[in-house]
Amino acid sequence: AIDLYESVIKRYPKSKQATESHMVLGLLYESQTEFETAANYFEKMASFPDVPQVADALFNAGSIRAALEQYDQAIGIFETFAKKFPDTKETPQLHLQIAEYHEKQLRPKKALKAYDRYIKLFKKPQAEMIPEVYLRKALIEQKKGGKRARRLATDQLKKSSKAFKRLPDEAKEKPKVRCTQARVKFLLAEYAYEDFEAIKIEFPERKLKKSLVKKAELLTKTGELFFEVLDIKSYDVSAGALYRIG
């Protein structure tokens, strides 16, 4: 069967049958676990205009490249998909995957840019995902480190909280959405806990009183923030909050 379809492509490269042969060969090679060859045939489909199977072919090709950890090629294919088919149900998820692949390739700036593009394109139609995207951006800022890391991460965490508050009550009750908000509050509480830990008890008495007051204020604030995490009742995150509260 493979020889027959390859012969059709060679003899009639511009025919409708040649287009269909590319798709069939991609599926055949994929079924035989010859993924590189399968991806090559799927990718060639992109050069055929107005062919119904192009979307499926590109999606298959990008998924194979990602599975082979060929992330740059997967990014290029999914970007092509998103441009050609901006209104399909798969497109929002592919934008997220592009950002994730940039993260895997240790390219935080490009990942942040990809997440920003997602927010711009899907802020309303994918509103439930927006708090998660801001959380991802916060985690990237944390990993980048540097003097501005905490401020930049905190900014993204606060944006996540605002996006969560804008959601309808029904959406807020979904486990994944609740878990995201719990993680956001936990990270903000951890920053407050760091501030609490950083204050040292100092002498003489004038400094002692001041440091004790400040430490007590931060302890109260930290406790309140960790209790807010518990109130969300996302049990994967609650354990960390309970540990901090003691």
Q: pTM surpassing 0.75?
A: yes
> CA 11 from chain center: how many Å?
44
Note whether 104 and 129 are within 8 A (CB).
Answer: no
Rounded Cα distance, 92 and 125, in Å: 9
Q: How many CB atoms lie within 10 A of CB 124?
A: 7
pLDDT digits (tens, 9 = 90+) for 127-167: 999 999 999 999 999 999 999 999 999 999 999 999 999 99
Residue 39 has pLDDT above 80, yes or no: yes
- Determine how many CB atoms are found less than 10 A away from the CB of residue 1: 8
Q: What is the band of 38 on the pLDDT scale with cuts at 50, 70, 90?
A: very high
Q: What is the pLDDT of residues 48-97, one digit of tens each?
A: 877 888 999 999 999 999 999 999 999 999 999 999 999 999 999 999 99
101, 37, 113: which is closest to 74 by C-alpha? Answer: 101
The encoded tokens of residue 218 equal 């931060």
- For 206, how many CA atoms within 13 A lie in the half-sphere containing its CB? 0
Among the residue ranges 129-133, 177-181, 201-205, the one predicted with the least confidence is 201-205
If you average pLDDT over every residue of the chain, what do you get? 93
Confidence of residue 179 (pLDDT cuts 50, 70, 90): very high
pLDDT value of residue 41: 93
